C-alpha cells in the first residue's frame, strides 16, 4: 500500500484544487478526507461540529486515516486542515505541506466571490483571531510532519502543481 501523496496545510490554502491539478498531471486518482467523512456519516462538516463536537470529528479523521492506510495507494489525497494530527500520518504516503502566510490565506478567502459560503462551512474560521492563533500553533507541526514544503502564496495552482510534479519524482 501507500505511495500516496498527502497534501496538508491550513484551511483555504488550496489543498483540494492543488490535488486535482496534480492528479490530472500524474494520471492518478484524488480523494479528499473531508468528502470521505461527509459521505461516511451523511452529514456536512459544519453539522458534525455543531451536533457532535470537534472531538468526534477528530475521531472520524482517525477512522478515515486507518481506512486510507489499508485501502488506498497511488492516490493524491487532500486533507482537512487538522488531519495531519492523526496517528502515523507518514504511513499514508509522502506528506506535502502547502504553505502561505495566514494573512495571505485570509485575504484570498475574503476576496473570493463565494467568501461567505467558504467561511460558513468552516467552523474553525468563524473567529479570525482564533484562526490566526490556530495557524501560529500549527505551523511548526505542519513543518515537522512534512517531507516537502511548497510555498503557494501569490502563485497559480498550475504553477504549484508543476513544481510539485517535479519534486515528488525525486522523493
Which residues form the interface with ligand S3P (CB under 6 A)?
11-12, 34, 45, 80-82, 122-124
Question: Least separation, in Å, of the C-beta of 45 and ligand S3P?
Answer: 5
CB of 117 to ligand S3P, least distance (A): 12
Q: How far is the CB of 83 from ligand S3P (least distance, A)?
A: 7
Which runs of E-coded beta strand occur in the chain?
A: 4-8, 29-32, 75-78, 93-99, 148-151
Q: How far is the CB of 169 from ligand S3P (least distance, A)?
A: 26
Which one, 47 or 90, has the nearer CB to ligand S3P? Answer: 47
Smallest gap from Cβ 80 to ligand S3P, in A, equals 2
Q: Which residue's CB is nearer to ligand S3P, number 110 or number 171? A: 110
Which CB, 19 or 161, lies closer to ligand S3P? 19
Residue number closest to ligand S3P, CB atom: 80
For ligand S3P, give the closer residue by CB, 11 or 164.
11
Amino acid at each position: 500500500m501507500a505511495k500516496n501523496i498527502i497534501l496538508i496545510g491550513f484551511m483555504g490554502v488550496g489543498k483540494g484544487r492543488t490535488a486535482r491539478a496534480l492528479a490530472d498531471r500524474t494520471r492518478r486518482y484524488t480523494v479528499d478526507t473531508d468528502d470521505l467523512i461527509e459521505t461516511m456519516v451523511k452529514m456536512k462538516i459544519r453539522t458534525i461540529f455543531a451536533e457532535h463536537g470537534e472531538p468526534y470529528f477528530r475521531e472520524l479523521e482517525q477512522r478515515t486515516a486507518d481506512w486510507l492506510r489499508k485501502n488506498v495507494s497511488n492516490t493524491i489525497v487532500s486533507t482537512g486542515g487538522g488531519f495531519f494530527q492523526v496517528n502515523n500520518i507518514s504511513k499514508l504516503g509522502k506528506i506535502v505541506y502547502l504553505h502561505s502566510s495566514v494573512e495571505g490565506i485570509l485575504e484570498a478567502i475574503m476576496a473570493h466571490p463565494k467568501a461567505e459560503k467558504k467561511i460558513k462551512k468552516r467552523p474553525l474560521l468563524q473567529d479570525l483571531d482564533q484562526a490566526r492563533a490556530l495557524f501560529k500553533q500549527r505551523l511548526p507541526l505542519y513543518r515537522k510532519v512534512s517531507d516537502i514544503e511548497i510555498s503557494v502564496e501569490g502563485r497559480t495552482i498550475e504553477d504549484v502543481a508543476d513544481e510539485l510534479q517535479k519534486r515528488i519524482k525525486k522523493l
